[in-house]
A and B are shown apart, each in its own frame.
Chain A
Amino acid sequence: MNSRRAVGSLFASPWILTFLIFWLFPLLYSLYLGFTDYRLLRPSFHWVGFQNFAALFSDSAFTEALKNTFYFVLGTIPVTTIVALLVALLVEKQFAGRTIFRSGYFMPSITSMVVIALIFTNLYSRGGYIHILAQILGLGPPENGFLLSNKTALMAIMAMDIWMSVGYYMLLFLAGLKSIPEELYEAAVVAGAGRTRQFFSITLPLLKPVALFIVVINTIKSFQIFTEIFVMTGGKSGTSTAVYFIYETGLSRFEFGYASAAAYILFLIIAVFSLAQFGLFQQRSLQ
């Protein structure tokens, strides 16, 4: 028995070692660094207690980045989730070319984020197709393109993110829809329930676990928005987000202590949001 356990441990050890060295140690070490004034190139560093955390909340760059992140999260998650659900309901039905539509919606999810961001940068620029279309429709787009205006840059990135994410969440909703037993709808029809009633009384309640999963992972992903900002605006035009701030502070200025503190604040925010979402969904399920 002992030798079986030893063999098992031996097989698991590569993963355990990787986890300990590359996950757990950096995680705990960065927490420690958050309480120090550690900067790369400096020969020594000191324990500063909560000084970094206090400084962050009076740092306008961080609070602005945090505000933008919340704006991004709250602006994209409901829209992405609702649109993904609607698209899933549409492409679930049998019709000619259904596979083409499904593939089409899913395609952006498997395309490189950087490629998409570069394409949209051109589309949003002055003379880009989206800019021209907005002019034709009389929407009064910013003269110098969407990404160079503080009023539209973040919204433009949010719109792109929704377009890009819908396909993936549509697929998850489709899987959820497939798992709903057909008999429930048949029974509802016999009981005289219309399509709207069926949707609100059968489809939505039974999709709740999938919806929870989608909302939680989308929340985590949205709080971590970085690549789009890095490629499209470099954090300018009022688009700096929390992770972009951490990147700038940690990997551009090498203020590891300050950046670690910011990362842990973001971690706490994500944890609180995720727990609240779990709680909310569980409460609704009980009701």
Chain B
Amino acid sequence: MKTNKLYAIILIVSLLGLLSCSGKNNGPTTIEWWQFWTDPSIKPTLEKIVADYEAQNPDIKIKLTDLTWGNGHEKIVVAFSSGTAPDIVELGSDWIYEFASTGQLMPMSKDLVKDTSGYYGWPPAIYNNDIYAMPWILGTRVLYINRTLMIRAMKDSNFVPITFDQLKTLCFKIDSLGNGVRGFGSNAAEKHTLYKKFLPFFWSFGGRIISRNGNFAVISSQKGYDALKYYKNLSDSCSLVDTQRRIEDAFLAGKVGVIISGDWLLKRIRNEKINIDFMTALIPGPVYPGKSFVGGEYLSVSAKSPHRAEALKFIRYITDRENQLAFCKANYSANPSNKETANDKFFNDDPALQIFIKEINLSPFPAPDPQWVYIEDIIETMLEEVLFKGMPVADGLYAARGKIQKLIDNK
């Protein structure tokens, strides 16, 4: 009797176990995705794209987890190091190398190689000749010019600065209008921001941080010197020096004539219904056009993800023509990675957005380098020393060169 009871219990437990296992296998596969788009203007669109995907693929469930730019990087690093990374993770362009070089990301060349011609922004996604991320939403910075101030200063409503000399003339003339109006918005020592404002000048002058073979720091070349001297002159002579947000506030209030900013400012002007006559323009150069700073957000798959195929399928879906267009329209952003999306009427009919698309095509991505975070720090320190502590331009560049060379030597 006792034995029968025991058999019965074992049978019931086994049956329950089998049922639970089969239930697990029959249910939808959950793909976990960590992403940074939490703004109320864009989140519903993102959720709709996800919901549509789930409706089309009933066997897949996408679990969205929001990150913030304040601590997202830390969370991703900890997740990778503890083996709890999600299947798909959104990464900033300058983080990909860090994770790819430590084996945290899944190589995707076989799956994505045929997509390369249809998308912008591949350089940061490539490490050791393998693709580790899919470009999604790119970002660049362009000139914003207050047309009211420009017309007053230049007496020409069609003026567009296409060379650095013309930019300087415009800024100085606006600055001389008086009444607290400044010509140019120059960034203060603000973390992760200052170097992004200087590098467009640096690259436009033809400067390089590291030699092509990767063995030498060459930031202190004549071109680098010319770029920093030019930027310092603008900053010292006719600029409002402040944080990015306050520079943008002053621009929108008609207190600064020319600033460098991203497409978030277009969105702000539209959302806050700010009455300002402005235009966007490509970054000038010694010879037209110059170059800007380009970055972006990329989608990668964790090397340990058990759902590789499903994750890739979803990445393809969210970066396709229609979904990128829906995303950019909701966000009023100008930088889809998908070339077909970038050629859509939505962008072609909007001159302000069009400038961003053109600037992305003209500008280089920062060299992918695991040491980039340190190089960024060195450049920011150099700028702080030269712009705000009175260090001579050549000395600042020379010191930065030495520090970067040390990084290269210790690699």
Contacts and interface: CB of A to CB of B under 8 A. Distances in A.
Interface of A is mostly: loop
A40 B242 contact: no
Contacts of A148: 188-189, 241-243, 388
Interface stretch (B19-27, B73-81, B272-280): B73-81
Nearest to A41: B102
Interface string A32-58: 000000001111000000000000000
A251 B74 contact: yes
B96 to A, nearest CB: 13
A236 interface: yes
A254 interface: yes
A125 B98 contact: no
Most buried by B among A43, A143, A148, A235: A148
B246 interface: yes
A98 interface: no
A235 B81 CA distance: 27
A40 B78 contact: yes
Contacts of A42: 102
Nearest to A125: B246
A236 B242 contact: no
Contacts of B384: 150, 236-237
Most buried by B among A41, A145, A237: A41
B188 A144 contact: yes
A253 B242 contact: no
Interface in B223-245: 240-243
Given A40-B81, A144-B241, A236-B384, A252 B74 contact: yes
Contacts of A67: none
A125 B250 CA distance: 13
B35 interface: no
Contacts of A102: none
Interface string A183-213: 0000000000000000000000000000000
Contacts of B189: 148, 236-237
B242 A254 contact: no
Contacts, number: 52
B104 interface: yes
A149 interface: yes
A26 interface: no
Interface in B80-107: 80-81, 98-99, 102-104
Interface in A145-178: 145, 148-150
Contacts of A234: 190-191
Nearest to B241: A144
A237 B187 CA distance: 12
A145 B99 contact: no
B235 to A, nearest CB: 11
A61 B381 CA distance: 10
Contacts of B374: 253
Nearest to A149: B388
Contact of B242 (A126, A150, A238): A126
Nearest to B74: A251
B373 interface: yes
B389 interface: yes
A237 B388 contact: yes
Contacts of B73: 252
Interface in A124-139: 125-126
Nearest to B186: A144
B401 to A, nearest CB: 15
Contacts of B381: 61
Interface in B164-186: none
B116 to A, nearest CB: 27
A150 B373 contact: no
Interface in A237-265: 237-238, 251-254
Given A41-B102, A126-B242, A236 B190 contact: yes
Given A125-B246, A126-B242, A150-B389, A40 B188 contact: no
B388 to A, nearest CB: 6
Contacts of B240: 144
A144 B189 CA distance: 11
A237 B74 CA distance: 24
B190 A144 contact: no
10 contacts: A41-B98, A41-B104, A42-B102, A148-B188, A150-B388, A236-B188, A236-B189, A237-B388, A253-B373, A254-B77
Per CB-CB distance, the 4 closest pairs between chain A and chain B, nearest first, are A236-B189, A234-B191, A148-B188, A41-B102
Interface of A: 40-43, 61, 125-126, 143-145, 148-150, 234-238, 251-254
Given A144-B188, A144-B242, A145-B242, 14 more contacts: A41-B77, A41-B104, A61-B381, A125-B246, A143-B241, A144-B241, A148-B388, A149-B388, A150-B388, A150-B389, A236-B190, A236-B384, A238-B389, A254-B77
